[in-house]
Structure 1
Amino acid sequence: MDISPADDGAQSGSDLLFNQSLEKGLNVLRAFSAKRRTMTLAEVAEAASMSKSSAQRMVYTLEKLGYIRKHPLTRRYQLTPRVMQIGFNYLAADTLIDVANPFLSELTNNTGETTNLTEPDDDEMVYVSRFVSTKFVPIHMPIGSRIPMYCTGSGRAYLSALPVDEALTRLERMNRVAFTANTMTDLATLGERLAEARQQGYATNREELFIGDMSIAAPVIGSQGRPVAAVHVVAPTSRWTFEDARQKLAPAVIDCARGITNSIRTLE
């Protein structure tokens, strides 16, 4: 979320340890995206919600550190591969990924489909591990991709493992938009889906985020009894009916999530 200069001052005024410069630098890095691959200095300032002078200082510093570079001809700024070092360090340090990978590999071998591990961040799930099958997958979701919780199997699996009131409160505050004609956005309906997932031990997505894409997901539970991640298998509509996916894939997904859960609890 971008922070306006007014908000920035209010936050720093109430927290003397808060470093505004660091926040602004991170806002500049987050401003680049698939829609903003390159930007002028003015565009950086607008995208990061800061003054042009602040943007100039941030961009200059990040350029000197090697995280941003300026194209010699267009004079537009873009990220460099060095930015990936930060994300890779997280993946390398995340014990959960190391524990989950053998289980995900086995799940892919058993189902013949692509399997994924996602972790929560605010109201989204982030892909942190992925084992791709040799079969066609309609949607490419590389590591680091983010998907909404409310309309995805992994998100609903995670929410279903939270206390009921907490899950509903989180759902209520989410910006629930319809990505396809199948996307469920009604709070009562989503509450019913979470209740169903709690009872069955797995959650589903039926072309709610992408057409042609279905998923079966189960939560991974940490030592404190709270969900820490979710496992899901991709079930393309070109190969699976919804009912076949539920009957044939759900037991394997549940077993995979349970295996990861039991393994990480011994390490925590």
Structure 2
Amino acid sequence: MSDSNNPLFNQSLEKGLAVLRGFGAARRTMTLADIAQVAGISKSSAQRMVHTLEELGYVRKHPQSRRFQLTPKVMEIGYNYLAADILVDVANPYLAELNQLTGETVNLTEPDGLDMVYVSRFVAPKFIPIHMPIGSRIPMYCTGGGRAYLSGLGDDEIRRVLQDSTLAELTRYTLTDATAIFERVITSRNQGYATNKEEMFLGDMTIAAPIFNSNGLPVAAVHVVVPSSRWSMEEAEDKLASTVIQCARGISNSIRTL
């Protein structure tokens, strides 16, 4: 939550970022009125923000529809994060090896609020219909990577995350009971890996393990995607869990030396 009462807090910058965050898959283009509503600002304020962003090259107006949309320049900000993220550089060789060993898609996710964000991805040669590009967000409570990350936290912090999360039923298999999810996370902590069986997407299962920094705190998670059309969860756990754990440990050991 922003501290707007702090004299150092720049509300204009907050509004500008709110405009950029307002665009997405559900709102690829917007009118000025749309932008004002989504960003929670007045129309005159939206006009100033959009004009500035347009001048800077982050937003453009379609000449026919007169609707605004983002430009590729917005990706520069996200790319700069990835370029500066040492964890991604360290992890990529391990992720590539895990991708080769398993023949399945391998992902690296980092925590942000109540979500995990995709920061690296090695796609399986076999077609997977679910497209999750870099920057995609998934909730912690119902995903393998999220539960793996949570398993490295203390019990009180796990409960806080679950309390703050909207425990929505994304598929008929999604766990939405906070107590049951907490118990699943504790099980993940004890066995060293977490699972997700079609709780986020039907036909999509994951085996995940946490990555720890030199202070023993979780900073990310690696997970392998296994489609239910080719795997059972029992088979995936039996054949892949130890390999995923070894990958996560290798990354953890490498970042501790940096």
TM-score tier, shorter chain, comes to over 0.9
How far did 1:152 drift? 0.2
For residue 21 of structure 2, what is the aligned residue in structure 1?
30
Q: Who is 2:216 aligned against?
A: 225
Matched, 1:216 2:216: no
Where structure 2 has 5 or more consecutive residues not aligned to the other structure, the ranges are none
State the Cα distance separating 1:230 from its structure 2 match: 0.1
The CA distance in 2 between the partners of 1:30 and 1:169, in whole Å, is 25
134-143 vs 66-75, which moves further: 134-143
Q: Which residue of 1 aligns with 2:134?
A: 143
Q: How do 1:68-107 and structure 2 match up within 5 A?
A: 68-107=59-98
Q: Distance in 2 between matches of 1:241 and 1:191?
A: 24
Greater mean deviation of Cα atoms: 134-143 or 230-239: 134-143
1:199-214 aligned at under 5 Å gives the runs 199-214=190-205
User: Which residue of the other structure, out of 106, 111, 117, is the alignment partner of 1:126?
Assistant: 117
Aligned residue in 2 for 1:63: 54
Q: TM-score, normalised by structure 2?
A: 0.98
Q: Is the 8 A contact 1:138 1:213 kept in 2?
A: no
Deviates more, 1:165-174 or 1:114-123: 165-174
How far, CA to CA, are the matches of 1:121 and 1:109 in structure 2?
28
Q: Say if 2:253 is the partner of 1:259.
A: no
Please, what TM-score do these two structures have when normalized by structure 1? 0.95
* SS at 2:142 equivalent: coil
Distance 2:194 2:106 in 1: 15
User: Is the partner of 2:109 in helix, strand or coil?
Assistant: strand
Deviation at 1:138, TM superposition (A): 3.0
**CA distance in structure 2 between the aligned counterparts of 1:173 and 1:127, rounded to whole angstroms:** 21
Mean Cα deviation higher: 90-99 or 138-147: 138-147
Residues 1:189 and 2:186 are matched in the alignment: no
3-state SS in 1 of match to 2:120: strand
Matched residues, percent identical? Answer: 66
Instruction: Give the C-alpha shift of residue 168 in structure 1.
Output: 1.4
1:86 and 1:27 map into 2 onto residues whose CA distance is: 15
**Residue number in structure 2 paired with 1:164:** 155
Counterpart Cα distance in 2 of 1:251 and 1:225 = 20
Asked whether the equivalents of residues 118 and 127 of structure 1 are also in contact (C-alpha less than 8 Å), the reply is yes
Q: Distance in 1 between matches of 2:83 and 2:182?
A: 36
| 3-state SS of paired residue (1:136) | coil
Query: Structure 1 stretches of 5 or more lacking a match?
Result: 2-7
Q: Which residue of 2 aligns with 1:45?
A: 36
CA RMSD of aligned residues (A): 0.9
Distance (Å, rounded) in 2 between the aligned partners of 1:131 and 1:254: 17
Deviation at 1:34, TM superposition (A): 0.4
Distance 2:32 2:130 in 1: 33
